[in-house]
């Protein structure tokens, strides 16, 4: 009997050690700062692109470099591009494994629509400090702090909070926190519902692994090393607390963040709200799927709430 208990204990130690090792590996893959090999983002500037003009403008326009210190003492960096005579500003958040230099299409569009443009590097990305990606949960507070900085440093009286992919999820999470009176609306492109949901989904899609128990183990490691769990990073819970106008954009061919996640967020949002499903668009490609249509949809939505 004693031998049986010893054998069981050894097996538990082996399995537990294996799970912790696997969780640590996936923490490095998904959370720790560094290159994310499973995410590919093109930096090529092609004249054939529907957003070539916007990307070219963004690459060459004179930018101000702004700095803030986050609540947890990280130095964060952003680019600011003013629009002459404008009192409205968009705070624009990039996606997972991205940085501010990749946001030319959206930055150009908002500038064309009459907005000053502020594009931060998220924590653990680009020129900003940080060693852990927050899946929107940590970034939401940074985004709101950037909005406060816009009010302090400019004559902005109206702010739109916008983002793509993880940046969209972070903005959705930010919408449930106390708001500055200058924030008038949110526009989020391809947001996920929660860190737990998207990491579980991608564990299956990319690695053909079941979510349990690996995602839960990785979440526990993330709590110890980064200060949050995947369950905390919940855009659905946050959008239920939001009462500002929000526009959700999702592509019907999005296999990275399933379209149904945008639909779930929409169902849980209060009015005023809008869901635009872009037929045939993949992840965050709605803007290139039909640039003028995308621009017009965003313009029409914001015109109701921003002068």
Domain edges within the chain = 48-194+233-303
Q: What is the tens place of the pLDDT at every residue in 238-286?
A: 999 999 999 999 999 999 999 999 999 999 999 999 999 999 999 999 9
Where is mean pLDDT largest: 27-31, 142-146, 208-212? Answer: 142-146
Please give the Cα distance from 147 to 167 (Å, whole number): 14
Q: What is the pLDDT of residue 11?
A: 34
Q: What is the tens place of the pLDDT at every residue in 68-116?
A: 999 999 999 999 999 999 999 999 999 999 999 999 999 999 999 999 9
Record the tokens describing residue 102, joined without a space.
């990749």
Q: 48-194+233-303 sits in which CATH class?
A: alpha beta
Please, what's the largest Cα pairwise distance for the chain? 82
Q: What is the pLDDT of residue 16?
A: 40
Contacts of residue 84, defined as CB under 8 A and 6 or more positions apart, other chains included, come to none
Decide if 200 contacts 264 (C-beta within 8 A): no
With 0.75 as the threshold, say if the pTM is over it. yes
Lowest mean pLDDT, pick from 33-47, 151-165, 292-306: 33-47
Q: What is the pLDDT of residue 289?
A: 95
User: What beta strand segments (E) does the chain contain?
Assistant: 64-69, 75-81, 88-93, 116-120, 158-164, 183-189, 246-251, 273-278
How distant, in Å, are the alpha carbons of 85, 87, 96, 144 from that of 154?
A: 11, 8, 29, 15
Q: What is the tens place of the pLDDT at every residue in 208-220?
A: 777 778 899 999 9
Please give the Cα distance from 66 to 146 (Å, whole number): 10
Q: What is the pLDDT of residue 40?
A: 58
């Amino acid at each position: 009997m004693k031998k049986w208990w010893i054998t069981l204990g050894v097996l538990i130690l082996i399995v537990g050690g294996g799970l912790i090792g696997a969780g640590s590996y996936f923490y490095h893959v998904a959370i720790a700062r560094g290159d994310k090999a499973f995410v590919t983002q093109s930096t090529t500037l092609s004249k054939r692109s529907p957003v070539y003009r916007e990307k070219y403008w963004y690459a060459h326009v004179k930018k101000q470099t702004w700095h803030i210190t986050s609540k947890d003492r990280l130095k964060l960096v952003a680019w600011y591009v003013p629009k002459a005579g404008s009192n409205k500003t968009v705070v624009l958040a990039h996606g997972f494994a991205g940085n501010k230099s990749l946001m030319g299409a959206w930055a150009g569009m908002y500038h064309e629509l009459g907005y000053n443009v502020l594009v931060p590097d998220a924590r653990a990305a680009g020129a900003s400090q940080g060693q852990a990606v927050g899946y929107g949960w940590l970034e939401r507070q940074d985004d709101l702090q950037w909005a406060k900085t816009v009010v302090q440093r400019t004559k902005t009286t109206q702010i739109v909070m916008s983002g793509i992919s993880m940046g969209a999820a972070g903005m959705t999470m930010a919408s449930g926190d106390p708001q500055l009176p200058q924030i008038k609306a949110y526009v989020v492109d391809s947001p996920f519902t929660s860190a737990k949901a998207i990491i579980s989904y991608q564990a299956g899609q990319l690695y053909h692994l079941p979510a349990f128990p690996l995602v839960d183990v990785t979440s526990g490691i993330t709590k110890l090393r980064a200060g949050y769990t995947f369950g905390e990073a919940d855009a659905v819970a946050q959008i239920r607390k939001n009462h500002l106008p929000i526009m959700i954009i999702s592509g019907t061919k999005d296999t990275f963040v399933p379209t149904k996640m945008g639909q779930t967020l929409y169902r849980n949002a209060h009015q005023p709200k809008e869901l635009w499903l872009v037929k045939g668009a993949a992840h965050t490609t709605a803007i290139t799927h039909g640039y003028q249509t995308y621009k017009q949809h965003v313009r029409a939505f914001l015109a109701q709430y921003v002068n």
